[in-house]
Amino acid sequence: MHRPYVDSRPMRLFTHRPMSLRNFLLLLGLAVVSFGCFSLPGEKASWQTAVDHQTRQLGYRNWIIITEASFPAQNRPGIRQVNAPVEVPEVLDYVLQSMEQTENVRPRVYVTREMRSVENDFAPGIDAFREKLKTALHSHETTELDQQSLITLMEDANRSFDVLVIRTPTALPYTSVFMELQPGYWDAESESRLRQRIERERMEKLARPAL
């Protein structure tokens, strides 16, 4: 009686082939990209780090402009630019929070006069944007000027002072926010009182009789 032949060699389920250099580099690139996109809880995004770096170098009479997507590109010396992949209100919220943590500067916030009149029927989403912007302002008062006047103010300031432009993908008209930086520890009222006192002292000195 013949026994049936049984192959005692272990079954090989997979055939190993050396990985090509091209495939190795492709997998390595995917790993690097995946790691770059991963952020730990509490870790800042790259645009936030860039904004922190730039704002630390700004002071009195510098400007920060948070722009919507179609805002004119600027290439003058003294204008720095950061691209943020988030909407205007989120950037504004972050910038104001950063300023609130220091007493060096505080912003005078300008919004465009045109934004108030833009209708949701012609720019879907503008009503929701205005509500988000109100929350992001952290109770800061705003001054309304037409957009061209604000651009002119920014360009005039840029002749002597630096301007930081933070570009966003916000696709709504007239939604850029302009911030003129003021001393954080010295407000306009204090400056006015100081000038009045200096002028009063000058007049008193002139009124003294000559000896």
What does the alpha-carbon distance between residue 12 and residue 29 come to, in Å, rounded to a whole number? 31
Closest CA to 177 of 49, 102, 90, 77: 90
**Tokens encoding 3:** 């026994």
Determine, yes or no, domain membership for 24. Answer: no
What does the alpha-carbon distance between residue 162 and residue 154 come to, in Å, rounded to a whole number? 10
Cα first-last separation, the chain: 144
Closest CA to 184 of 102, 68, 76: 102
Instruction: Kindly give the residue spans of alpha helices, DSSP state H, lying in 137-187.
Output: 147-158
Residue 41 pLDDT exceeds 90: no
What does the alpha-carbon distance between residue 142 and residue 187 come to, in Å, rounded to a whole number? 16
- pTM score of the predicted model: 0.71
Contact 107, 64 (CB under 8 A): yes
Helix axes 88-100, 46-55, angle to 10 degrees: 50
**Tokens encoding 43:** 């870790």
Residue 99: pLDDT band (50, 70, 90) is confident
Determine, yes or no, domain membership for 30. Answer: no
* Distance of alpha carbon 134 from the chain centroid: 17
Structural domain of 100: 46-185
CATH number at residue 70: 3.40.1650.10
Output phi, psi for 93, to 5 deg.
Answer: -55, -45
Residue 36's pLDDT is 43
- Domain total in the chain: 1
Determine, yes or no, domain membership for 197. Answer: no
Determine, yes or no, domain membership for 82. Answer: yes
Output phi, psi for 71, to 5 deg.
Answer: -60, 135
Determine, yes or no, domain membership for 53. Answer: yes
Please give the residue that has the higher pLDDT: either 206 or 137.
137
Residue 24 pLDDT exceeds 70: no
Determine, yes or no, domain membership for 25. Answer: no
Determine, yes or no, domain membership for 119. Answer: yes
Residue 211 pLDDT exceeds 70: no
Residue 20 pLDDT exceeds 70: no
Determine, yes or no, domain membership for 76. Answer: yes
Residue 207's pLDDT is 81
Residue 13's pLDDT is 47
Residue 33: pLDDT band (50, 70, 90) is very low
